[in-house]
Structure 1
Amino acid sequence: MGILANTVSVCHFKVQGDLPQQDELHAWVTKQLAANKFNPIDQGTEEMSVGWVHLDDPRIAEFDSPAACCREHYFMFTLRRDKRAVPSAVLKAHLEKAKEEFLAENPGFAKVPKQKREDLKEAVHAMLLSQTLPTPATYDAVWDTKNGILTFSSLSPKVIELFEDMFKKTFEGLRVSAFHPYARAESVLDDGNKVLLAQANKAGGDNYLELIKENQWLGTDFMLWLMYQTMNESSEYTVNQAGVLLAQEAFVAYLDDRVVLLGSGENGAQKITVAGPQDHFNEVRSALLNKKQITEATLHMEAGDDHYKLTLKGELFHFASFKSPAVQLEKDSTVDEAMEREAVFFERMLLLEKGTQLFDSVFATFLKLRLGKEWEEQATAIQKWLNVCTYCNSQLNS
């Protein structure tokens, strides 16, 4: 079900470029999607087809009106990629049979000539492709034009690259840029703290790859602080970012279930995964004392009766397995299917926005501390907490 499912892995982009006038935007987006719609290859021999389809129904690729992709300030569309492939073992077996048949029909040849082998291989491959059904894959995108953020339902680098290229091709003059940790940090801070963030920026320019690589401390320090908060503080926070939830609304956030650490060793990079409910994070603390850094962690956020859970990928701030409360809508036989789909979409967007607002509020709380004068004292407290772990020290000395 993609982005409409109660659990989905997502990454975020910022849409950049000059948009058409507001009164022309819906028609323009619809036209561009229609011009780059998905074309099925079930009846042909093409190896791959890529294009846009409806988010509600990936079988439909007709964008004949704004209603097909627009809901209030959202644009929604799905990237569909159908791909057919012939297994190498199957191709080899059929090719051998074709070569045997050629030699039987042409007894003057001791072996199949090189050019004929190439021709046979091409013909066999085409024949097998025509008998192979393409395998479909779909990836949802929701573009919020109010804040310019686009949510995409895949974390695969290859799929993300395909999406970026297709988006740029479809919407001439626009592009999507990764909403990486530094960009997200800028978005959640006030002007005064943005100045402090710029001073802490370790990148030498505005290149987004450099901003990611040189500022990995944003992710590692954030998750280390979250772990300390989970074990030593109340884990209570208040909403401090604009959105669906009211300002100063209380909620709880804590780490549990899964932590991934990375560090260098004699044989190169060493990765440690600690899974299952945590008591004192002893194994994690041992690894931290041994110069490892947290690169992934599962974060829980609870606001009222709503429980959100996600695995934060520290390098890029991707949300893996982002689980939100289930969409619960009363079925009404008098409501048609289109209206029900629309209701599900808005309810789902509301829940995703709430979860993101909670996350950004925790992140902003950390940043204000990390960029302020109090961080030195906090870092000392964290180090002391790590050092008093008797289990950790025994592990290091064993």
Structure 2
Amino acid sequence: MGILANTVSICQFQVSGELPQDDLFEWASTRLVAQAFRPIDRGSEELSVGWVHIDDPKESSFDRPQAFWRDHYLTFSMRKDQRRIPSALLKAHMELAEAEFLAAHPGLQRVPKQKREELRDAVRGTLLAQTLPVPALYDVVWDSRNGRLTFASLNANVVELFENLFRQTFDGLRLQAVHPFARAEAIIDQALQPALQQANQASGDAVLEMIESNRWLGQDFLLWLMYQTMEGSSSYTVNQPGPAQPGEGFSAYLNDRLLLVGGGDSGVQKVTVIGPQDAFSEVRTALQAGKQITESILHMEKLEHQWKLTLKGETFHLASFKAPSVKIEKDNRSDEASEKEAVFYERMYVLEEGLQLFDSLYRHFLDERLGANWAQTLARIEAWLSGE
């Protein structure tokens, strides 16, 4: 699903580096054109990756602002067309090609290794030419005000492909994954920064190490949120910038599905708890056995609006992020282009409000986790887990 769908899976990056001070449009346009998507449907190439319009995957020209410019947003999609040959089909054609070669060379018992490789290349090329490429689209929204970039995929290979293409396109800029520690650094009060840095368990600033060494952030956040859902208050206030006003109230709670992971004699063990939870009894039992919550469905509500997402605790990737539906009233004076633009702005409004609520919720947790009273809070949670 693309960024404009009511449900989308996203990860976020922080873009660092110097942007041009003069004509940002001309700069971005030139670079997007240089890495624009090139069709391969008339050839036999196996893969083509490049940029296209977010609202028209057939268009890859970026010579006018309407193509990718929306106020302070740069918007485009990564298109990947790839031909795939089923292994069974390749094997069958290879066997036929080898049989024909041996029939033409009766003195040979088997196909020589080098010749076999040549046959494989020839067979593969023929099959590729007969196979249509399958397209895939992944939307990008880049906020030029704060450098926050949202990418609509959680597939590790796709994310890596996007990062490589972005670096090739915008040389001099860097993408930094917004993982739990990076998100914490961005939203906590300056007075708590020393406590956060002291709690950092990574020995370096490499992204993978920052994620793996600071798993405690996602684990403690989900544990705290589960306790808040059952025994504390599910009411919070907005404390981060965004569409909602500071101090506005909202509710947040876990429900429907939780994934717990822990080590055992037989290796890593996973427990998935599905369905509405009355007392989290099964989850509490797993936690007492040493498992940790690593993933859960999070609900957030503000007035009549609702957001729902699956939070990946290790990375803070947001899967199946469902925001309030966007409805645009049409009139006879509006054209298709203006309607698409209106849908985009409305969609970004509800998405950013949901992210604002999530960051506000995370900030509530961080204030407690890094504050002086965390030991008492943890004692209450442990007593609740043991049924005291």
Same fold (TM over 0.5): yes
Q: Which moved more, 1:163-172 or 1:329-338?
A: 329-338
Gaps of 5+ in 1: 390-398
Question: Is this contact kept in 2: 1:243–1:357, CA < 8 A?
Answer: yes
For 1:264-283, list aligned pairs within 5 A: 264-283=263-282
Q: Which residue of 2 aligns with 1:348?
A: 347
Q: Which residue of 2 aligns with 1:394?
A: none
For 1:74-93, list aligned pairs within 5 A: 74-93=73-92
Q: Which residue of 2 aligns with 1:383?
A: 382
Q: Which residue of 2 aligns with 1:392?
A: none
Question: Structure 1 CA distance, aligned partners of 2:209 and 2:41?
Answer: 43
Q: Which moved more, 1:367-376 or 1:196-205?
A: 196-205
**CA spacing shift, 1:132–1:257, aligned 2, 3 Å:** same
Deviation (angstroms), 1:204? 2.7
Q: Which residue of 2 aligns with 1:395?
A: none
Question: Structure 1 CA distance, aligned partners of 2:147 and 2:190?
Answer: 20
Question: Is this contact kept in 2: 1:53–1:62, CA < 8 A?
Answer: yes
Q: Which residue of 2 aligns with 1:194?
A: 193
Q: Which residue of 2 aligns with 1:393?
A: none
**CA spacing shift, 1:375–1:136, aligned 2, 3 Å:** same
Q: Which residue of 1 aligns with 2:10?
A: 10
TM-score (norm 1): 0.94
Query: Per-residue CA shift, 1:226-266, capped at 9, x if unaligned?
Result: 00000012300010111110011011100001101111100
Question: Is this contact kept in 2: 1:27–1:66, CA < 8 A?
Answer: no
Q: Which residue of 2 aligns with 1:146?
A: 145
Query: Per-residue CA shift, 1:99-119, capped at 9, x if unaligned?
Result: 333444455555444443333
May I ask how many residue pairs the two structures share in their alignment?
Answer: 388
Query: Per-residue CA shift, 1:11-39, capped at 9, x if unaligned?
Result: 01000111111x31111111100000010
Question: Is this contact kept in 2: 1:261–1:295, CA < 8 A?
Answer: yes
Q: Which residue of 1 aligns with 2:37?
A: 38
Question: Structure 2 CA distance, aligned partners of 1:269 and 1:366?
Answer: 28
Question: Structure 2 CA distance, aligned partners of 1:297 and 1:73?
Answer: 33
TM-score (norm 2): 0.97
Question: Structure 1 CA distance, aligned partners of 2:112 and 2:144?
Answer: 60
Q: Which residue of 2 aligns with 1:259?
A: 258
The question of 1:178 aligning with 2:147 is answered no
> Per the alignment, in what secondary structure is the counterpart of residue 124 of structure 1?
helix
**Alpha-carbon RMSD:** 1.4
Q: Which residue of 1 aligns with 2:50?
A: 51
For 1:1-398, list aligned pairs within 5 A: 1-21=1-21, 23-107=22-106, 109=108, 111-388=110-387
Gaps of 5+ in 2: none
Question: Structure 1 CA distance, aligned partners of 2:13 and 2:275?
Answer: 31
How much identity, in percent, do the aligned residues show?
A: 58
Deviation (angstroms), 1:163? 0.8
